[in-house]
Amino acid sequence: MENGNPPQADGKDPSGFLSDIIGNNVTVKLNSGVVYKGELQSVDGYMNIALEKTEEHVNGVKRREYGDAFVRGNNVMYISADS
Amino acid sequence: MASQLLPLELIDKCVGSRIWVIMKGDKEFSGTLMGFDDYVRNHTKLPKILLNGNNICMLIPGGEGPEGA
């Protein structure tokens, strides 16, 4: 079980997906149900996420905006590419 | 002993086909399994998401979610 393995194509691990969506608008849902929408700057192996131009949505209602946001990976339920 | 299929080998066989993911809480996801990693972080599509494996309870190959069951 290696960790931090280089992104390369056995086509099965998610690293290629992540490199594809860097720079795109994404939706990040936390286990609490809070949703962050923003431009994905980076993700690491813990699913820590850096977003720019971030909007925070609670129960579907926009609550706040952040220029830059860091989300700690343990809170993340999923990252979804908006397309 | 007959050759046995390890649990993660089963999931490996599911890559590219439909899967139903039941989380620890009330949440469920279904989609096409694009891949997964050692933490069983699933990568389903339409829309493509990377689902954290922390709260996954069960994976059902070929599942279409509660409506399909």
pLDDT of A8 over the 60 cut: no
What's the pTM value of the predicted model, to 2 decimals? 0.80
Residue in A closest to B45 by C-alpha: A80
- Beta strands A61-71; A76-81: pairing state: unpaired
Amino acid type, A81: A
Confidence (pLDDT) at A31: 92
d(CA A48, CA B19) in angstroms, rounded, equals 26
Q: How far is B67 from chain A (nearest CA, A)?
A: 22
Residues 6+ apart with CB under 8 A from B67: none
Q: Touching check for A47 and chain B: CB below 8 Å?
A: yes
Confidence (pLDDT) at A33: 92
Q: Touching check for A77 and chain B: CB below 8 Å?
A: yes
pLDDT digits (tens, 9 = 90+) for A46-72: 899 999 999 999 999 999 999 999 999
Residue extents of the structural domains in chain A = 14-81
Confidence (pLDDT) at B68: 62
ipTM of this complex:
0.74
Is the CATH number 2.30.30.100 carried by domain A14-81?
yes
Among residues of chain A, what percentage have pLDDT more than 70?
A: 87
pLDDT of B7 over the 90 cut: no
Select the residue of B15, B48, B54 nearest A12 (Cβ to Cβ).
Answer: B15
pLDDT of A7 over the 60 cut: no
Contact A14 B34 (CB under 8 A): yes
Contact B47 A83 (CB under 8 A): yes
The torsion angles phi and psi of B36, rounded to 5 degrees, stand at -160, 165
